[in-house]
């Protein structure tokens, strides 16, 4: 393959871009003003912006250095949009590329949408490259090894006398994926099990976080539900391991570091999380393995 296309969700760089950002996410449907303000407030509390785009650029640069190929980045819902990046790849004469989404687990409602955008952009630009689209890469050995290391580092900081529950988490999706025989849940559980097998003494389970605002049922249980229940069951510490994500962004910096922490304080239980993979050597190795497999 000539190049790599690294894709992520996208995030606004400034709060005054939030309306347009949410409009893109919602497929052109207007966002209620109160929801816009609520989301803006979350961004304010993490410093006014998410580091997602900046981190993705760093990941791309490190991956390019590791494999000796050009790495492009494209965002699903903000600049640089996937469509724009595809046009640049055509202009650069890229005849083949591997497409990787910075989310290791497949769902038709997540990874599938990225593939649709790539295909649509190629059609729009009359661009016919050879594309190898990576649907999932959660079972990469370097990725799982790095997740284990980050879990161990976090466990080392917790008093061993505390009754502790490890909550592996990922972004919730609408429950209707179950009717589609979507592999999302099973891949996540397999990933959690692959990590936990190296920690025979930990008490763990899987739950979801960051469900959307739509009224349809979303996958659960959520961390908002489980933390108070664990406190009631006499647990003293909850360690959150958000394995569905590979870098810091609002779902980590707000939903866990602020939201889950607040629930912990309200219910008298300690809450911590493992460090995100971000630009770690292990993540870059996992991407390199995936890119050249």
Contacts 24+ apart (CB under 8 A), 187-192: 187/105, 187/106, 187/136, 187/138, 188/105, 188/138, 188/243, 188/244, 190/138, 190/139, 191/104, 191/105, 191/138, 191/139, 191/144, 191/147, 191/243, 192/168, 192/241, 192/243
What's the number of domains the chain is made of? Answer: 2
Q: So what's the pLDDT on residue 213?
A: 83
Domain co-membership, 40 together with 100: yes
C-alpha closest to that of 87 among 100, 74, 98, 99: 74
Residues 98 and 188 in one domain: no
**pLDDT tens across 249-289, in order?**
999 999 999 999 999 999 999 999 999 999 999 999 999 99
Are 238 and 190 within one domain? yes
129/172 same-domain check: no
**What is the predicted pLDDT for the residue at 197?**
98
Alpha carbon distance 39, 22 (integer Å): 9
Residues 15 and 98 reside in one and the same domain: yes
* Containing structural domain, residue 188: 141-273
Residue 293 has what pLDDT?
Answer: 82
**Same-domain status, 226 and 254:** yes
- pTM here is 0.96
Low-confidence ranges of the chain (pLDDT < 50): none
What does the pLDDT look like over 184-210, one tens digit per residue? 999 999 999 999 999 999 999 999 999
What's the chain's average pLDDT?
A: 98
83 and 158 in one domain?
no
159 and 252 fall within a common domain? yes
Is residue 251 located within the same domain as residue 153?
A: yes
Do 241 and 130 belong to one domain? Answer: no
Whichever domain contains 36, its CATH number is 3.40.50.1400
């Amino acid at each position: 393959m000539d190049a790599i296309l690294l894709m992520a969700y996208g995030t606004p760089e400034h709060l005054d871009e939030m309306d347009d950002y949410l409009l893109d996410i919602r497929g052109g449907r207007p966002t209620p003003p109160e929801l816009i303000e609520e989301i803006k407030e979350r961004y304010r509390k993490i410093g006014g912006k998410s580091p997602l785009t900046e981190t993705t650029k760093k990941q791309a640069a490190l991956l390019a250095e590791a494999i000796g190929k050009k790495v492009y980045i494209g965002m699903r819902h903000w600049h640089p949009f996937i469509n724009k990046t595809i046009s640049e790849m055509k202009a650069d004469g890229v005849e083949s590329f591997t497409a990787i989404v910075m989310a290791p687990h497949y769902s038709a409602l997540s990874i599938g949408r990225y593939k649709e955008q790539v295909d649509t952009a190629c059609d729009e630009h009359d661009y016919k490259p050879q594309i190898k689209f990576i649907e999932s890469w959660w079972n990469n050995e370097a990725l799982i090894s790095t997740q284990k290391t980050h879990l161990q580092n976090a466990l080392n900081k917790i008093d061993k006398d505390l009754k502790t529950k490890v909550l592996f988490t990922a972004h919730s999706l609408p429950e209707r994926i179950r009717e589609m025989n979507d592999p999302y849940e099973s891949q996540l559980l397999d990933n959690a099990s692959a990590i936990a097998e190296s920690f025979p003494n930990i008490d763990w389970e899987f739950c979801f976080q960051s469900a959307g605002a739509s009224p349809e049922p979303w996958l659960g249980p959520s961390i908002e539900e489980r933390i108070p229940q664990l406190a009631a069951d006499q647990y003293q510490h909850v360690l959150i391991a958000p394995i569905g994500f590979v870098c810091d962004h609002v779902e980590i910096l707000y939903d866990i570091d602020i939201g889950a922490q607040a629930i912990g304080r309200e219910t008298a239980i300690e809450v911590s999380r493992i460090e995100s993979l971000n630009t770690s050597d292990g993540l870059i190795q996992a991407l390199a393995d995936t890119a050249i497999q």
